[in-house]
A and B are shown apart, each in its own frame.
Chain A
Amino acid sequence: MSTELAGPTKTPSTKPPVGAGVGDIGNDYKYGFHDKEDYIFKSGRGLTPEIVRYISKIKNEPEWMLEFRLKALDIFLKKPMPTWGNCKLLNDIDFQNIFYYIRPSEKQQTDWNEVPAGIKQTFDRLGIPEAERKFLAGVTAQYESEVVYHSIREDLTKQGVIFLDMDSGLREHEEIVRKHFATVIPAADNKFSALNSAVWSGGSFIWVPPGVKIEIPLQAYFRINAENMGQFERTLIIAEPGSFVHYIEGCTAPVYSSDSLHSAVVELIAKPGAHIRYTTIQNWSKNVYNLVTKRAVAHEDARVEWIDGNLGSKLTMKYPSIYLMGARAHGEVLSVAFASEDQHQDAGAKMVHAAPDTTSVIVSKSISKNGGRTSYRGLVKVYPEAINVKSSVRCDALLLDEKSRSDTYPTMEIDQKEATIEHEATVSKVGEEQLFYLMSRGLTQNEATAMIVNGFFEPFTKELPLEYAVELNRLIQLEMEGSVG
């Protein structure tokens, strides 16, 4: 039970985060927290029931959430580490040496000088505006987005859409949250969902009323006055019957995080006839372990798409899943992974067909270079009652040199003979003849490789909003030049 504030020696900044109002100076009200004078306790490293109670109390949560957290902590402490995946890296995690929660107002801002040079270079090359750079590097806590997104938020309110950070969602819409929270991913699902369930903070809560189709993609940083890119975000999206929402999180620019363990949980519920598209592009700095549990439930005639881009982190383990529970539901996972030196992208997808006439598509594209490692881990499961299922899986791996590695672990559990299942896997390297052809048109070897790589990712890139697609292409070019740290 630690009561000391361990960690960096700099004194906490008394400057309010950028964008905060005058009245917010010195307290956490805008995050909905209790007056801090009630609390002498300061959270330190390591995970204990006291810290979990502290988190729940300071967020002013209902009793049932505290109980949920404590039960989850118990599960986390008892569950063994997974014995599959990159066990070497997983077992390197020092759970006692992590801050599981720091109040936003106490959060140490990163000193710009500490930000790795490679990341600063990428900001330059991508032309990221100054204010954004500081946000991405953790130098400022808040993105100055209030004015821009105000009118978007007004529109949403008019349509009856609820879009808040998860903490506020729980406080202001307790019944909706209670009804759906942890129904898709129970705490006991795996060790890291248990961890998240115990110490979650931040993330998005979205509720779309029946029949409402939101035209613009909702993005994480629209959530003003909230923590962003937290370690243990919890997201819950509920699309009522006949509705549509597209949510985007992350960005192609590198994000520097001094926290090395990120373990998010994302739950999506697509009720009958609803459509949810969830796009993620993560480019965490290379010190980060990114262990995420993402799952959706699709009811009849519903549709869920996970568009999943994994560019950064030291180790990512993430398998977006869709449980097709209602007839004629459709699920898609389009996943790309890019692993360079000292990176392991262990990604994939899970499709569970539990109803008739359901369909699914998995497309996984991965690239390894410079000794990086990518793995595809996938499952297609068809239950006996799921007749007339069509599922196709395609995983393509591209190895850019002899040092790099790619593995594929596809699993099919088909318990219904009236099912059409396709699976195609390719491994290739960049062809010498392709390179020669492009170089004969004046492209240098790096430019030619970048063009081939961009072409390889194209099925993914074309599903992204234009700005993201452009930035992703540019980032790949930088990677090929070897100038990205």
Chain B
Amino acid sequence: MQAKAPILKIEDLHVTVEDKEILRGVNLTINPGEVHALMGRNGSGKSTLSYTLMGHPRYHISKGRVLFKGQDISTLRPDERAKLGLALAFQYPMAIPGVSVVNFLKAALRAVRGKDIPIKEFRQELKARMSELGVKDEFLSRYVNDGFSGGEKKRLEILQMLLLNPTLAVLDETDSGLDIDALKTVAHGVNTLLKPDTAILLITHYQRILDYVKPHFVHILQDGSIVASGDSELAKELEAKGYDTVTRDNIMPVSSGAV
């Protein structure tokens, strides 16, 4: 079957941060309707990749490029990328004191959709998504991420994803710090993001979330590049054998269906 155009195509990406090269030739293609999991140890470059995709000013592409919906986005600002349909759920979301969650969400939606949403419609959508995620009303008047527990921060990230409805949702360790019930709720939300014309890049350290969000492809990032790709079996093997078994000299074979 002829695949639709890829949503994301990363070609030989090299990224330096403060003169230190973190990504050394990453190649990745994500097609519509796919869930890709990216796993790796701390320091492997997972967050560097997510920050680079979103356009953080300190992350410098020294070689290669990133194509989003066929367009080279390497020089675009973060807000421009957001408006194209790219969204990042942060591992460590920032607090914005004095700004209420509801005002923040309204501003984000207006910015990404490019126009004001009628209050009534906004409220309805918001209420629906909040009940899906088990988020209470009083949440809305709190200041964004200010004094939030880890779980609350993650829930707000996913709530934003559900409202923004991005073409590609990059989820950076969305599962860390969540108990099993919270994890299931969040996973359910993540699954609703997936549609025939959207895709998800799930960055994770542990395989646990992959029991609830089934990946089509699993990639392992090590020392700045993808050293192995497979399906969900790869993740299970990684869980069983640990990261140590995956080294440059012992790369597991790429199984069918990847890249």
* Residue positions of A touching B, CB distance < 8 A: 431-434, 436-445, 447-448, 451-452, 454-459
Contact = CB atoms under 8 A, between A and B. Distances in A.
A451 B101 CA distance: 12
Contacts of B78: 436, 439-440
Contacts of B83: 442
B57 A440 contact: no
A451 B104 contact: yes
B23 interface: no
A455 B77 contact: no
B96 A439 contact: no
Nearest to A459: B98
Interface stretch (B31-39, B107-115, B188-196, B234-242): B107-115
Interface centre among A432, A439, A441, A459, by most chain B C-beta atoms within 10 angstroms, is A441
Interface centre among B81, B90, B95, B99, by most chain A C-beta atoms within 10 angstroms, is B99
Main secondary structure of the interface of B (DSSP, over half): mixed
A102 to B, nearest CB: 43
Given A455-B96, A455-B98, A440 B111 contact: no
Interface in B30-75: 54-58
Interface string B84-111: 0001101001111111000010011001
Contacts of B171: none
29 contacts: A432-B58, A434-B94, A436-B54, A436-B78, A436-B94, A437-B96, A439-B77, A439-B79, A440-B81, A440-B82, A441-B79, A441-B82, A441-B107, A441-B108, A441-B111, A442-B83, A443-B107, A443-B111, A444-B77, A444-B111, A445-B77, A447-B111, A451-B99, A454-B99, A455-B97, A455-B98, A455-B99, A456-B98, A459-B98
Contacts of B58: 432
Contact of A444 (B79, B104, B160): B79
B15 to A, nearest CB: 15
B114 to A, nearest CB: 9
Contacts of A440: 54-55, 78-79, 81-82, 87-88, 90
B97 A442 contact: no
Contacts of B143: 455, 458
Contacts of B108: 441-443
A452 B57 CA distance: 19
B233 to A, nearest CB: 33
A442 B88 contact: no
Contacts of B55: 439-440
A250 B1 CA distance: 69
A456 B160 CA distance: 22
Given A439-B82, A441-B160, A454 B98 contact: yes
Contact of B111 (A433, A442, A455, A457): A442
A442 B57 contact: no
Contacts of A444: 77, 79, 111
Contacts of B77: 439, 444-445
Contacts of B79: 439-445, 448
Interface residues of B, number: 29
Given A442-B82, A458-B99, A451 B107 contact: yes
A432 B56 CA distance: 9
Contact of B96 (A432, A434, A445, A457): A434
A442 B96 contact: no
A440 B82 CA distance: 6
Nearest to A396: B97
A474 to B, nearest CB: 13
Contacts of B98: 454-459
A451 B96 CA distance: 9
Interface centre among A440, A441, A448, by most chain B C-beta atoms within 10 angstroms, is A440
Interface in B98-140: 98-99, 104, 107-108, 111-112
A441 B56 CA distance: 13
A439 B87 CA distance: 11
B69 to A, nearest CB: 16
B203 to A, nearest CB: 15
A438 to B, nearest CB: 7
Nearest to A444: B79
Given A433-B94, A437-B90, A440-B78, 14 more contacts: A432-B57, A437-B93, A439-B77, A440-B54, A441-B79, A442-B82, A442-B83, A443-B79, A444-B77, A447-B111, A451-B104, A457-B98, A458-B143, A459-B98
A455 B96 CA distance: 7
A86 B9 CA distance: 58
A363 to B, nearest CB: 12
Interface centre among A434, A451, A455, by most chain B C-beta atoms within 10 angstroms, is A455
Contacts of B104: 441, 451
A436 B77 CA distance: 10
A432 B51 CA distance: 13
Given A451-B107, A455-B98, A441 B93 contact: no
A439 to B, nearest CB: 4
Nearest to A434: B94
Nearest to A436: B56
B96 A452 contact: yes
Nearest to B78: A439
B153 to A, nearest CB: 11
B229 to A, nearest CB: 27
A455 B160 CA distance: 19
A117 B42 CA distance: 55
A467 to B, nearest CB: 17
B98 to A, nearest CB: 3
Nearest to B56: A436
A437 B156 CA distance: 13
B49 to A, nearest CB: 14
B112 A438 contact: no
Given A440-B82, A440-B88, A447 B107 contact: yes
A452 B56 CA distance: 18
A454 B98 CA distance: 7
